[in-house]
Amino acid sequence: MNRYARISAISGLDRDFIKNIKVLIIGAGAVGNELIKNLVLFGIKEIHIADFDKIEIHNLTRSVLFRESDIGAFKSEVAAKRASELSEDTQLNFSTKDFWDTFSFDDIKNYDAIICAVDNHEARINANTLANINDILFINTAIDHQSTVVEVFPFNNNSECSCYECVLPEGVYKRISDRYSCGWLRKMASKENIIPTTVVTAGIVAANACTALFDCLKNDEVKDSYRIFFDTKNYLSHGKINLPFSPSCISRSHIIKKFDRLKIRNLGNFDIKSFCKNKSEITMIFSDPILLYTLDKNKRKEIYFKRSKDFDESILL
């Protein structure tokens, strides 16, 4: 009997399908650990783990791949190393920088799905954008001490399905803006939002996310975005809830409506000189607010042309 005989015996999980799946997992904390463990045991082809955080002692109660000797090391690196001990059939790669700075459009196209396992709305919005533009399956996960949420956006089957920002409450944008000044410089006194969690909720949400991953990649009839909620304390679930498309979605109005979808898919080889030739006026929309320049007391200008959030308000002092 081969290693995957019991898995392959399940309808829809044949070896030829599973062994060719390539996934980008953003976040290697509690949920990320469970996702990585599950997918390696299934024997998928490749997992890239993106996380710039380092292991702290409180991570040890929720992260099966971490040990006390790992404290201070990068989560993504340790997770990749430990997961490789579970199976040699899955290629494990990792990055210790922000995925938004690391992956190009061409890089993203190498994966079948992006799974977000972070508690940061900005990261989720960025991951949604990358998946949406490249027509790749996007799965978002969220947990607290008793509840789990999996949101599935099958861009791979339907490029016009609702996206993460279609169903995002307005209050989220307010919380994001509270972290930045009016010029989108990072506020020096911004506080991190700590969410209490356990390995129980992490395990459940990761299991649901893996099931959704296989279903959406195997079944091209899954065309509508949906959410799965489960309350682990009261054993309450609302089943699969379809997520509505929003014509006024911020993500679509800023990206999809400004560019032809066929052109934007080829931005990896985009030639700006040819694009701008013989055009009297060009409007370009950037993915992030840009710090163009600063002026000192003598009105002397210093040019930056870098992302505003790479700086905090101390640059103005």
Q: Give the pLDDT confidence of 105-138 residue by residue, as tens digits.
A: 889 999 999 999 998 999 999 999 999 989 999 9
Quick check: 36 and 77 in contact, CB under 8 A?
Answer: no
Q: Which residue has the higher pLDDT, 248 or 178?
A: 178
Q: What is the DSSP letter of 75?
A: H
Say what the pLDDT of residue 268 is. Answer: 52
> Is the distance from CB of 311 to CB of 291 less than 8 angstroms?
yes
Please report the pLDDT score of residue 170 as a whole number: 84
Per-residue pLDDT, averaged over 47-73, amounts to 97
Average pLDDT over residues 190-197: 74
The predicted pLDDT at position 254 comes to: 52
Whole-number Å distance between alpha carbons of 114 and 156: 11
Average pLDDT of the chain is 89
Residue 273: strand, helix, or coil: helix
pTM, 2 dp: 0.88
